[in-house]
Each structure stands twice: as structure tokens, then as C-alpha cells.
Structure 1
Amino acid sequence: MNNLMVVFLIGIGATALMDLWSILRKSLLGITPPNYGMVGRWLAYMTHGKFHHGSIAASAPMQGEYFIGWIAHYLIGIAFAAVLVGTAGKSWILNPTIGPALVVGVGTVAAPFLLMQPGMGAGIASSRTPKPNSARLHSFVNHAVFGLGLYASGWALKLYCSI
């Protein structure tokens, strides 16, 4: 299996685990899962030259925003898997370890904290939300789960696909 396919499958697997975690925490803890339609709305507005919103939820809906958001969510997961494989190397693919996967997973929280949340009107690291510390904690945990998903997906490929 070539490295591109490995990156693709690890990214899909890690992102899917993050989504399963969101479903689980909703059913167990009543925590609303992320709304990737808002990400799609934000991205769709970029094609019209608008990169910042006072509140993305208050901006008019865009055609296809849910589809755009979900596709972007998985493409971003694949891109971060590429960061892991690109930095940890072929040896990580052959023998996945949790350290690099968690470092990359937790490190990915920088994207929403510094780019997405400010662009969508939530401020840097959710500073403009009603409960910023709670939002930060949930983002951190979600991205740590993504890191665990990178690791688990790497091992699944090793065990079941003989890479």
C-alpha cells in the first residue's frame, strides 16, 4: 500500500473516531456535537471574499454548507494525518506509536483556536463564547481523541492491511 493511501485511511479513521466520540458524548453527557455546517458556511463565504464574521450563525446560510463542512472536516483530518506521517516518517507507518500521534492530534487544536474560531466570530480560543474555558476543554479533548484515532488507525492498517 502506498503512503498516500495510508495517509488517506489514517486520516479518515481518525476523523471518524472523533465523530463517534462526539456522538457518544452527546448521548452520555448531553454535549452538542460540533456543527460542521457552520464550517461549510464559513468556507463558502470565503469564495465571495468574506473571511471574518461577527457570528457565523448570524450570517445567511449558504447553499451546500453542510456538505462543504463535512467534506472539509474529513479533508482536514487527512491533511493532519499527512503531517503525522510526514514528520514521523515511514517507520511510524510500520510501527505506530502513540506519542507522535497524540502530539499531532493535540497540536491540531491550534487550527480552530487560531484560525477557525476567530474567523467565525468566536474569538481566539473561543474567547467570545459564553463559556470559553468549557469550549477550550472540549476542543482539547476532541483533538486528543483525534490523536488517539491517528494511533488506532495506524495500528488497524498495520494489523489488517499488512503495510
Structure 2
Amino acid sequence: MVISGVNEFIVQAVILGVGATVVMDAWALFQRHVLGVPTLNYAMVGRWLGRMTYGEFAHASIADASDVKGETVLGWGAHYLIGILFAAILIAVVGEKWLSAPTLWPAVMAGVISVSAPFLIMQPAFGLGVAAAKMPSPLKARIRSVITHVIYGLGLYLTALLMQYVSDSF
């Protein structure tokens, strides 16, 4: 019985995380193609992770670091795994019952909290400083990051609603 409980939790976290990350990616596509706003190149995430195997954890500029074979696939895979991880944390914190009656606030808060990962880990390691402090327009970059992660939170909520609807239909 414990195994099925763990498996159910994992399946729920995967569906929730993938769904929310797809919503976040749809927002990125909208920004890029409609608003003309540049978005994160996930190959740089893959490069950063791949360079870790060489003992390189932080860079003056990740764009200037040597390429890593398969960095694009690695970066996109990491992006979705991180989305799943934050979804799992949300479910663990608020409880699986939230999936039966999702509310907006916990999901959006999870999105807001998730922006701490790029602000405190990824951006400094990429050479961009804490919370994009070294970027040409740090405030603009911060606002875009927060909005993107709020959209991820909305994606958590919308995906949970869809999961509930599908569950109630069967």
C-alpha cells in the first residue's frame, strides 16, 4: 500500500509539474513571438549542468563557457525536472487533498517561491549576479523572472483543476 501511495504521489507530481511547465513555456513563446521579449536559452542550463562534470560550477559568463555535447536536451530535461520537483514540493507541503480541491493561492505562492532558484543559484552561477544584479537592466530581468514564475504557479493551479476534472469524470 505504501508503494502505491508513493507511486501515486510521483505520478501526480509529474503530471502537475509537466503541465505547469508547459504553461510557463507557452508564456515564454508568447513573450518571444508576440511581445518580442527574449527568453532563457535552455541550452545554457544544459551547458551549466554539463560543465559541472568538469568541476566548473560557476562562470564569469555561461555563454563564453565551452559547449557541452547534448546541452540543449540536457537543459530542457532539467527545466522539466525542476518543474516536477517544485510541483512535488507543493503537493508535499499543502497535502494531496489540495489536488481534489485546488485553490489558487498555494499554487501562485509556489511559483513565487520557485523564483528563488534562478535568483540565488542559476543566475549567480551563470555570471549574472544574485537576482540578475549584473545584467544591463536588473530590475526588468527580475520583474520578468517573477512574472514567469507566477505564470508557472498559475500553471500549477490550472493543471490541478484539469487533473481534478479528469479524475471526477472517471
Please state which band the TM-score falls in when normalised by the shorter chain.
over 0.9
RMSD: 1.2
Q: Which residue of structure 2 aligns with residue 87 of structure 1?
A: 93
3-state DSSP of counterpart to 1:63: coil
- 1:71 and 2:71 correspond: no
> Size of the alignment, in residue pairs?
163
Q: Which residue of structure 2 aligns with residue 40 of structure 1?
A: 46
1:161, distance to aligned residue in structure 2 (A): 3.1
Q: Which residue of structure 2 aligns with residue 140 of structure 1?
A: 146
1:92, distance to aligned residue in structure 2 (A): 0.4
TM-score (norm 1): 0.97
3-state DSSP of counterpart to 2:127: coil
Distance, in Å, in 1 between the alignment partners of 2:36 and 2:155 is 22
1:3, distance to aligned residue in structure 2 (A): 1.9
Among 11, 15, 35, which residue is 2:21 paired with? 15
Q: Which residue of structure 2 aligns with residue 31 of structure 1?
A: 37
Q: Runs of at least 4 residues of structure 1 off by over 2 A?
A: none
- 1:126 and 2:132 correspond: yes
**Counterpart of 1:40 in structure 2: which amino acid?**
G
Higher-helix-fraction structure? 2
**Counterpart of 1:55 in structure 2: which amino acid?**
S
Identical amino acids, percent of aligned pairs: 43
3-state DSSP of counterpart to 1:2: helix
> Which segments of 5 or more consecutive residues in structure 2 lack a partner in the other structure?
1-6
1:34, distance to aligned residue in structure 2 (A): 1.2
TM-score (norm 2): 0.93
3-state DSSP of counterpart to 1:130: coil
**Counterpart of 1:88 in structure 2: which amino acid?**
V
**Counterpart of 1:111 in structure 2: which amino acid?**
A
For 1:124-149, what per-residue CA distance to the aligned partner results, in whole angstroms no more than 9, with x for missing partners?
00001111111101000000000000
Distance, in Å, in 2 between the alignment partners of 1:58 and 1:131 is 20
> Which segments of 5 or more consecutive residues in structure 1 lack a partner in the other structure?
none
Distance, in Å, in 1 between the alignment partners of 2:116 and 2:13 is 21
**Counterpart of 2:144 in structure 1: which amino acid?**
H
